[in-house]
Structure formats: C-alpha cells, structure tokens
Amino acid sequence: MSWKSYAVVSGATVLAGWLASTPPSHTPDSAAAVPRPAAPRRIVPSDIEHEAERLQVRVRREVEYTQPERNPFRFGPARVNANRGGDLPAPAPARVEPQAVTPFVPPPPPLKLSGIAEDEQGQEVERTAILSSPSGVLLVHEGEVVGDYRVSRIESAAVELVKDDGTTLRLTLSN
C-alpha cells in the first residue's frame, strides 16, 4: 500500500469514529414540549408540632457527671460508687482457696536437628550439627551456644544441648 491509501483508510476511520461518537439530535415533540399544569397540592394538617411535643416529653433529664466506676488503666477490685444510691447490695467477696503453685517450665526451644556434617581430619572426625530454628539455619560445633543452651555433644545421629541449670535437651534426626 502506498501513502495515499494509508491516508484514505485513516481518514475514513476518523470520519466513521466521529460520526459514531456524535450524540443523536432529538427534537422534542410539540405535545411533549408543552408543560402540564401542576396538580393542586392538598393541604394536609401538619403533624410536626404534635411530633415535637411528643419528643419533648421523651427527653431525659440531664445527669450530672460522675466518676467512672472503673479505671481501665489500673488493676484492682472495682470500687463501689457512693453516688449510685445503693440500688443493689454489694456482693460479698468470694472466698478463694489457695491452690498448689506449679513451677513454670518453659517449653524447649523450637529447634530441630536437620542434619549432621562430618569432616575427617586425620584420625579425628569433626562434626557440625545443622539446626533449623525460627531465625534460620544454624551450623554449630561442640561448645557453641544456641539460645540458652550450649552444645555439649554431637553424635552421628543426635545432638545434646545443656542449659545453665543442667537441663539436657536431646535432638535426634527424624526420618
């Protein structure tokens, strides 16, 4: 195609788009153009005054400000407000029997033994434990500290972690 045919096709496309986008001209009918006379409004007695009187009766009297019964920022027993007028008698405090206190035992750390790497150096075998924790993968040797635990021994399929208080945690490889 030559430049002339491109110009003709482009012009035809622009003309077709312009004709398609112009809004249709609509001439109103002569009957529709004549406005109809408005229907006379019926005068209805207004109930606004009656409703206003009814609402004024239902308005509550204003209450003086009183201190809140509780402070959400302090712990402690609820105080009885003297301004309440004593509608209800205060409930007697419930007697609480002392219970045996069990010591809190923290859960073990969320560590998992992922693998053990062995490196032979002559006659000795140096093992590295591969631990998975929420913070990522840890590569540890014997004697290193992991959280509250110290790595005491690395075996071929297990790792022993010892806490300062003597608590021992043994992690084994899972299949």
pLDDT for 108-134, tens place per residue?
678 889 999 998 888 888 999 999 888
Structural domain that includes position 139? 112-172
pTM of the model: 0.40
Number of domains in the chain: 1
Q: Per-residue pLDDT for 17 more than 70? A: yes
- Looking at the domain assignment, is residue 86 inside a domain? no
pLDDT confidence of residue 8? 92
- Looking at the domain assignment, is residue 103 inside a domain? no
95 pLDDT tier (thresholds 50, 70, 90): confident
- Looking at the domain assignment, is residue 121 inside a domain? yes
Q: Per-residue pLDDT for 30 more than 60? A: no
Q: What is the pLDDT of residues 158-171, one digit of tens each?
A: 999 998 888 888 99
- Looking at the domain assignment, is residue 77 inside a domain? no
Q: Per-residue pLDDT for 45 more than 70? A: no
What is each CA distance from 27 to 12, 20, 30, 31, 33, in whole angstroms? 29, 19, 9, 12, 10
Q: Per-residue pLDDT for 81 more than 60? A: no
pLDDT confidence of residue 105? 74
pLDDT confidence of residue 19? 82
Q: What is the pLDDT of residues 50-68, one digit of tens each?
A: 888 777 776 666 677 888 8
- Looking at the domain assignment, is residue 148 inside a domain? yes
- Looking at the domain assignment, is residue 75 inside a domain? no
Answer whether 111's CB lies under 8 Å from 123's CB: no
- Looking at the domain assignment, is residue 76 inside a domain? no
Cα dihedral 116, 120, 121, 122 sign: positive
- Looking at the domain assignment, is residue 26 inside a domain? no
